[in-house]
A = this chain, B = another copy of it.
Amino acid sequence: MRNPAENAQLALLLEVSGTPKPGNVDRHRDYDDLRFEHFMAGAVGSLSGLRMAADGARVGRAFERAVAGMSDQSGGNTQFGALLMLTPLVRAAATARLSHTGTSDVVEATTVADACDFYRAFDHVDVAVDDLPEDVDALDVRRGSDAVSALREREVTLHDVMTQSADRDGVAAEWTSGFERSFEAAEWLLDADGPIYKRASRVFLRLLADEEDTFILTRNGAAAAAEATERAQSVLDGEEAAEALAEEFVERDINPGTTADLTAAALFVALERGLVV
Protein backbone atom coordinates (compact mmCIF):
# COMPACT_ATOMS: atom_id res chain seq x y z
CA MET A 1 0.00 0.00 0.00
CA ARG A 2 1.41 3.35 -1.06
CA ASN A 3 1.18 6.10 1.56
CA PRO A 4 -0.07 9.59 0.59
CA ALA A 5 3.42 10.98 -0.10
CA GLU A 6 4.17 8.05 -2.41
CA ASN A 7 0.84 8.47 -4.18
CA ALA A 8 1.68 12.15 -4.70
CA GLN A 9 5.03 11.20 -6.23
CA LEU A 10 3.29 8.68 -8.46
CA ALA A 11 0.73 11.32 -9.46
CA LEU A 12 3.57 13.57 -10.66
CA LEU A 13 4.98 10.70 -12.72
CA LEU A 14 1.63 9.65 -14.18
CA GLU A 15 0.79 13.26 -15.03
CA VAL A 16 3.86 13.79 -17.19
CA SER A 17 3.44 10.30 -18.69
CA GLY A 18 -0.08 11.09 -19.88
CA THR A 19 -0.15 11.64 -23.64
CA PRO A 20 -1.15 13.48 -25.71
CA LYS A 21 -1.49 16.56 -23.51
CA PRO A 22 -1.31 19.38 -26.08
CA GLY A 23 1.38 21.92 -25.19
CA ASN A 24 2.89 20.00 -22.29
CA VAL A 25 5.97 17.91 -21.96
CA ASP A 26 4.55 14.39 -22.05
CA ARG A 27 5.62 10.84 -22.69
CA HIS A 28 6.06 11.66 -26.39
CA ARG A 29 7.20 15.29 -26.41
CA ASP A 30 9.99 17.43 -24.96
CA TYR A 31 10.82 21.09 -25.17
CA ASP A 32 14.50 21.58 -26.05
CA ASP A 33 15.50 22.69 -22.57
CA LEU A 34 12.62 21.20 -20.55
CA ARG A 35 12.48 17.47 -21.00
CA PHE A 36 10.70 14.41 -19.68
CA GLU A 37 13.82 13.39 -17.74
CA HIS A 38 13.69 16.68 -15.81
CA PHE A 39 10.19 15.78 -14.63
CA MET A 40 11.44 12.34 -13.54
CA ALA A 41 14.19 13.95 -11.46
CA GLY A 42 11.71 16.55 -10.18
CA ALA A 43 9.39 13.80 -8.94
CA VAL A 44 12.27 11.99 -7.22
CA GLY A 45 13.40 15.19 -5.50
CA SER A 46 9.90 16.19 -4.40
CA LEU A 47 9.24 13.17 -2.22
CA SER A 48 11.00 14.26 0.95
CA GLY A 49 8.97 17.49 1.11
CA LEU A 50 5.77 15.59 0.39
CA ARG A 51 6.64 13.22 3.23
CA MET A 52 7.06 16.19 5.55
CA ALA A 53 3.53 17.29 4.63
CA ALA A 54 2.22 13.82 5.51
CA ASP A 55 4.18 13.79 8.76
CA GLY A 56 2.75 17.08 10.03
CA ALA A 57 5.26 19.78 9.07
CA ARG A 58 3.81 23.20 8.28
CA VAL A 59 2.28 23.17 4.77
CA GLY A 60 4.46 26.08 3.65
CA ARG A 61 7.61 24.50 4.98
CA ALA A 62 6.83 21.12 3.39
CA PHE A 63 6.07 22.87 0.09
CA GLU A 64 9.33 24.85 0.17
CA ARG A 65 11.28 21.62 0.83
CA ALA A 66 9.44 19.81 -1.98
CA VAL A 67 10.27 22.65 -4.38
CA ALA A 68 13.91 22.66 -3.26
CA GLY A 69 14.14 18.93 -4.01
CA MET A 70 12.22 19.26 -7.27
CA SER A 71 14.68 21.91 -8.42
CA ASP A 72 17.66 19.55 -8.20
CA GLN A 73 17.71 19.11 -11.99
CA SER A 74 18.75 21.33 -14.86
CA GLY A 75 15.40 21.83 -16.61
CA GLY A 76 14.12 24.55 -14.28
CA ASN A 77 10.56 24.73 -12.97
CA THR A 78 8.93 21.37 -13.62
CA GLN A 79 6.29 20.84 -10.92
CA PHE A 80 5.98 24.01 -8.79
CA GLY A 81 2.24 24.42 -9.30
CA ALA A 82 1.54 20.71 -8.98
CA LEU A 83 3.36 20.63 -5.64
CA LEU A 84 1.44 23.68 -4.44
CA MET A 85 -1.72 21.62 -4.89
CA LEU A 86 -0.33 18.29 -3.74
CA THR A 87 1.12 19.54 -0.46
CA PRO A 88 -2.21 20.41 1.23
CA LEU A 89 -3.89 17.41 -0.44
CA VAL A 90 -1.26 15.07 1.02
CA ARG A 91 -1.75 16.62 4.45
CA ALA A 92 -5.50 16.15 4.19
CA ALA A 93 -5.08 12.53 3.03
CA ALA A 94 -2.62 11.76 5.83
CA THR A 95 -5.19 12.89 8.38
CA ALA A 96 -7.98 10.93 6.61
CA ARG A 97 -9.73 14.14 5.61
CA LEU A 98 -9.26 14.17 1.84
CA SER A 99 -12.48 16.06 1.10
CA HIS A 100 -13.62 19.59 0.26
CA THR A 101 -13.93 20.53 3.92
CA GLY A 102 -10.81 18.63 4.96
CA THR A 103 -8.65 20.44 2.44
CA SER A 104 -10.31 23.77 3.22
CA ASP A 105 -9.44 23.29 6.88
CA VAL A 106 -5.80 22.57 5.93
CA VAL A 107 -5.39 25.67 3.76
CA GLU A 108 -7.31 27.97 6.13
CA ALA A 109 -5.00 26.94 8.97
CA THR A 110 -1.92 28.25 7.15
CA THR A 111 -0.04 31.09 8.84
CA VAL A 112 2.29 34.00 8.10
CA ALA A 113 5.20 31.58 8.48
CA ASP A 114 3.70 29.44 5.68
CA ALA A 115 3.45 32.53 3.50
CA CYS A 116 7.13 33.27 4.13
CA ASP A 117 8.02 29.69 3.12
CA PHE A 118 5.95 30.04 -0.03
CA TYR A 119 7.92 33.13 -1.06
CA ARG A 120 11.18 31.38 -0.20
CA ALA A 121 10.20 28.60 -2.59
CA PHE A 122 10.40 31.07 -5.48
CA ASP A 123 14.14 31.45 -4.79
CA HIS A 124 14.61 27.85 -6.00
CA VAL A 125 13.00 28.25 -9.42
CA ASP A 126 14.49 31.41 -10.93
CA VAL A 127 11.26 33.35 -10.56
CA ALA A 128 12.86 35.50 -7.87
CA VAL A 129 15.09 38.20 -9.38
CA ASP A 130 17.35 40.75 -7.70
CA ASP A 131 16.94 43.83 -9.89
CA LEU A 132 13.21 44.49 -9.74
CA PRO A 133 11.98 48.05 -10.43
CA GLU A 134 11.33 49.91 -7.14
CA ASP A 135 7.63 50.37 -7.84
CA VAL A 136 6.95 46.62 -7.92
CA ASP A 137 4.63 45.59 -5.11
CA ALA A 138 6.31 44.51 -1.86
CA LEU A 139 4.52 41.15 -2.15
CA ASP A 140 5.33 40.47 -5.81
CA VAL A 141 6.46 36.82 -5.94
CA ARG A 142 9.50 37.86 -7.95
CA ARG A 143 10.86 39.25 -4.69
CA GLY A 144 11.15 35.67 -3.39
CA SER A 145 12.45 35.56 0.19
CA ASP A 146 13.00 39.35 0.12
CA ALA A 147 9.26 39.69 0.66
CA VAL A 148 9.42 38.01 4.06
CA SER A 149 9.60 41.19 6.14
CA ALA A 150 6.64 42.74 4.31
CA LEU A 151 4.62 39.54 4.85
CA ARG A 152 5.36 39.68 8.58
CA GLU A 153 4.58 43.39 8.87
CA ARG A 154 1.25 42.99 7.12
CA GLU A 155 0.48 39.66 8.82
CA VAL A 156 -0.37 37.94 5.54
CA THR A 157 -1.03 34.19 5.77
CA LEU A 158 -0.51 31.76 2.89
CA HIS A 159 -4.27 31.44 2.64
CA ASP A 160 -4.46 35.25 2.29
CA VAL A 161 -1.89 35.12 -0.52
CA MET A 162 -3.91 32.49 -2.35
CA THR A 163 -7.18 34.35 -1.84
CA GLN A 164 -5.64 37.43 -3.42
CA SER A 165 -4.47 35.45 -6.47
CA ALA A 166 -7.50 33.22 -6.93
CA ASP A 167 -9.02 35.27 -9.75
CA ARG A 168 -5.92 35.06 -11.94
CA ASP A 169 -4.26 31.77 -10.89
CA GLY A 170 -5.92 28.41 -11.31
CA VAL A 171 -3.89 26.79 -8.53
CA ALA A 172 -4.83 29.52 -6.03
CA ALA A 173 -8.46 29.12 -7.15
CA GLU A 174 -8.30 25.46 -6.10
CA TRP A 175 -6.90 26.43 -2.69
CA THR A 176 -9.86 28.73 -2.05
CA SER A 177 -12.59 26.48 -3.45
CA GLY A 178 -11.94 23.24 -1.55
CA PHE A 179 -10.09 21.83 -4.58
CA GLU A 180 -13.37 21.58 -6.41
CA ARG A 181 -12.05 20.89 -9.91
CA SER A 182 -9.40 18.42 -8.65
CA PHE A 183 -11.99 16.30 -6.88
CA GLU A 184 -14.32 16.42 -9.87
CA ALA A 185 -11.60 15.39 -12.32
CA ALA A 186 -10.57 12.56 -9.98
CA GLU A 187 -14.03 11.08 -10.49
CA TRP A 188 -13.57 11.27 -14.26
CA LEU A 189 -10.34 9.28 -13.89
CA LEU A 190 -12.00 6.67 -11.70
CA ASP A 191 -15.02 6.34 -14.00
CA ALA A 192 -12.87 5.81 -17.12
CA ASP A 193 -11.31 2.57 -18.36
CA GLY A 194 -8.00 1.64 -19.92
CA PRO A 195 -4.36 2.65 -19.48
CA ILE A 196 -3.80 5.58 -17.12
CA TYR A 197 -1.86 7.57 -19.71
CA LYS A 198 -4.93 7.73 -21.92
CA ARG A 199 -7.24 8.61 -19.04
CA ALA A 200 -4.86 11.39 -17.94
CA SER A 201 -4.81 12.78 -21.48
CA ARG A 202 -8.59 12.80 -21.66
CA VAL A 203 -9.00 14.45 -18.26
CA PHE A 204 -6.41 17.07 -19.19
CA LEU A 205 -8.40 17.91 -22.33
CA ARG A 206 -11.69 18.10 -20.42
CA LEU A 207 -10.18 20.43 -17.81
CA LEU A 208 -8.68 22.63 -20.51
CA ALA A 209 -11.94 22.74 -22.49
CA ASP A 210 -13.85 23.64 -19.32
CA GLU A 211 -11.77 26.60 -18.23
CA GLU A 212 -9.02 28.82 -19.61
CA ASP A 213 -5.53 27.94 -18.43
CA THR A 214 -4.12 30.75 -16.27
CA PHE A 215 -0.50 29.83 -17.07
CA ILE A 216 -1.21 30.42 -20.78
CA LEU A 217 -3.14 33.58 -19.88
CA THR A 218 -0.12 35.00 -18.02
CA ARG A 219 2.55 33.91 -20.51
CA ASN A 220 0.81 34.04 -23.88
CA GLY A 221 -2.17 36.35 -23.33
CA ALA A 222 -5.95 36.17 -23.47
CA ALA A 223 -6.27 35.21 -27.14
CA ALA A 224 -4.01 32.17 -26.74
CA ALA A 225 -5.81 31.09 -23.57
CA ALA A 226 -9.18 31.31 -25.32
CA GLU A 227 -7.82 29.44 -28.33
CA ALA A 228 -6.40 26.62 -26.20
CA THR A 229 -9.76 26.09 -24.53
CA GLU A 230 -11.65 26.14 -27.83
CA ARG A 231 -9.29 23.72 -29.49
CA ALA A 232 -9.33 21.31 -26.55
CA GLN A 233 -13.11 21.24 -27.02
CA SER A 234 -12.59 20.56 -30.75
CA VAL A 235 -10.47 17.54 -29.87
CA LEU A 236 -13.14 16.26 -27.48
CA ASP A 237 -15.74 16.79 -30.22
CA GLY A 238 -13.65 14.75 -32.66
CA GLU A 239 -13.08 17.74 -34.94
CA GLU A 240 -9.34 17.97 -34.41
CA ALA A 241 -6.59 15.39 -33.77
CA ALA A 242 -4.99 15.55 -30.32
CA GLU A 243 -1.55 14.50 -31.59
CA ALA A 244 -1.44 17.24 -34.22
CA LEU A 245 -2.58 19.83 -31.69
CA ALA A 246 0.12 18.64 -29.30
CA GLU A 247 2.80 19.15 -31.95
CA GLU A 248 1.47 22.60 -32.82
CA PHE A 249 1.22 23.88 -29.24
CA VAL A 250 4.75 22.73 -28.39
CA GLU A 251 5.93 24.44 -31.58
CA ARG A 252 4.16 27.68 -30.57
CA ASP A 253 5.21 27.35 -26.90
CA ILE A 254 1.61 27.38 -25.68
CA ASN A 255 1.94 25.33 -22.49
CA PRO A 256 -1.23 24.73 -20.41
CA GLY A 257 0.81 24.33 -17.23
CA THR A 258 -2.01 25.01 -14.77
CA THR A 259 -4.17 22.35 -16.41
CA ALA A 260 -1.28 19.91 -15.98
CA ASP A 261 -1.11 20.88 -12.29
CA LEU A 262 -4.83 20.20 -11.95
CA THR A 263 -4.37 16.84 -13.67
CA ALA A 264 -1.65 15.88 -11.18
CA ALA A 265 -3.93 16.83 -8.27
CA ALA A 266 -6.78 14.81 -9.79
CA LEU A 267 -4.49 11.79 -10.25
CA PHE A 268 -3.47 12.01 -6.60
CA VAL A 269 -7.06 12.10 -5.37
CA ALA A 270 -7.94 9.22 -7.68
CA LEU A 271 -5.01 7.12 -6.42
CA GLU A 272 -6.06 7.78 -2.82
CA ARG A 273 -9.60 6.72 -3.77
CA GLY A 274 -8.53 3.43 -5.32
CA LEU A 275 -7.34 4.09 -8.89
CA VAL A 276 -5.51 0.85 -9.80
CA VAL A 277 -2.18 1.22 -11.58
Residue numbers of A with Cβ under 8 A of B are: 1-2, 6, 9-10, 13-14, 17, 27-28, 30, 35-38, 40-41, 43-45, 47, 72-74, 195-197, 276-277
A10 / chain B contacts, CB cutoff of 8 Å: 40-41, 44
Number of copies: 2
Q: B36 touching A27 by the CB < 8 A rule? A: yes
Give 9 pairs: A residue, B residue, CB < 8 Å, sorted on A: A1-B72, A2-B41, A2-B45, A6-B44, A6-B45, A13-B13, A37-B196, A38-B277, A74-B277
Q: B45 touching A197 by the CB < 8 A rule? A: no
A248 to chain B, nearest CB (A): 20
A83 to chain B, nearest CB (A): 16
A17 / chain B contacts, CB cutoff of 8 Å: 36-37, 40
Complex CA–CA separation, A45 to B10 (angstroms): 9
A28 / chain B contacts, CB cutoff of 8 Å: 27-28
Complex CA–CA separation, A9 to B9 (angstroms): 12
A27 / chain B contacts, CB cutoff of 8 Å: 27-28, 36
Complex CA–CA separation, A37 to B194 (angstroms): 12
Take A28-B27, A47-B47 as given contacts and tell me if A37 and B6 are in contact as well, using a CB distance cutoff of 8 Å.
no
The contact of A37 among B35, B45, B277, by CB within 8 Å, is B277
